[in-house]
Amino acid sequence: MRKYLIIIVIFATAILSSCFQQYNEDDTYRKGWTLVWEDDFNKLPDESVWSKTPRGKQHMYRYMSDNEALYELQDGNIVLKGMIDPEGDKKLLFLTGGINIDAFKADETKKVEVRARINPTSGVTPYITLVPNNGAENIVIDITEQYGTDKFIYQSVSSEYTTTEGMPDNPPSSALVSVNPSEYHIYGVEKYPDSLVFYVDGSRTKKYPRIPTDIPGQFPYNDLDFDLFIGLRLNKDTDPAGLPADFYIDWVRFYEPSAVGENL
């Protein structure tokens, strides 16, 4: 009997160890990265590659506009602005600038980094966000969000699992990162089939893994195509006296895994 118990314990331990490695990987096996595309914004964004974000019903798109005053080149940055509507349209309190680009394909292992700095302004939320391009709701990868004059940023994910199913803490879906947002930082995320790994200035800040669960929608991030959105979000409580708000984007870079045999 004891012999069979020992065999069962060994078998169970092997299964648990395998699960631990799969869902709590320390990423040491991950490959290096090769830069495949970048935009350093020495000129206004190429309209064949980038799109100005159109106005929409969702909060982040509520005041979006293609008004040229919202897009400014300055010292090698594209500066996205939030301001009072210069034409005085009473239907819109404000106008905001935003740009977007194709980012991740389904089943694609890829990395994106954005070097940016924020002019912290009360009632303004600059963001660097990945959104499914099929319009799926409640699925977002927030590479960075900064609220008002906070001296920190958030990196987080949203999905049916974290919202509708009420599971934002298993595993934790959000991380607060203490940085001075008014200084330049490099915000990034790596997408793998089984996890999202977040970084600030090359230091890992958070991992969101795929976990074994019967609750739906826990890890949809490898199943969809995503676009990268960069912009500012204002609301009815934004103080007009603090505008215009500025979001400085120095560069955007995309990476793919380095080829086998390449120095990592």
What confidence tens digit (pLDDT) does each residue in 193-220 have? 999 999 999 999 999 999 999 999 999 9
What is the reported pLDDT for 88?
Answer: 64
pLDDT above 70 (res 79): yes
What is the reported pLDDT for 197?
Answer: 98
What is the reported pLDDT for 9?
Answer: 36
Taking CA atoms, 203 is separated from 30, 65, 80, 200, in Å, by 15, 35, 26, 5
What is the reported pLDDT for 207?
Answer: 97
On whether the pTM is more than 0.75, the answer is: yes
CATH class of 28-257: mainly beta
What is the reported pLDDT for 14?
Answer: 41
Dist CA 235 CA 243 (whole Å): 12
Domain coordinates of the chain in residue numbers?
28-257
Dist CA 251 CA 232 (whole Å): 17
Sequence-ordered list of residues with C-beta below 8 angstroms from that of 174, at least 6 positions apart, any chain: 154, 155, 156, 157, 168
What confidence tens digit (pLDDT) does each residue in 228-238 have? 999 999 987 88
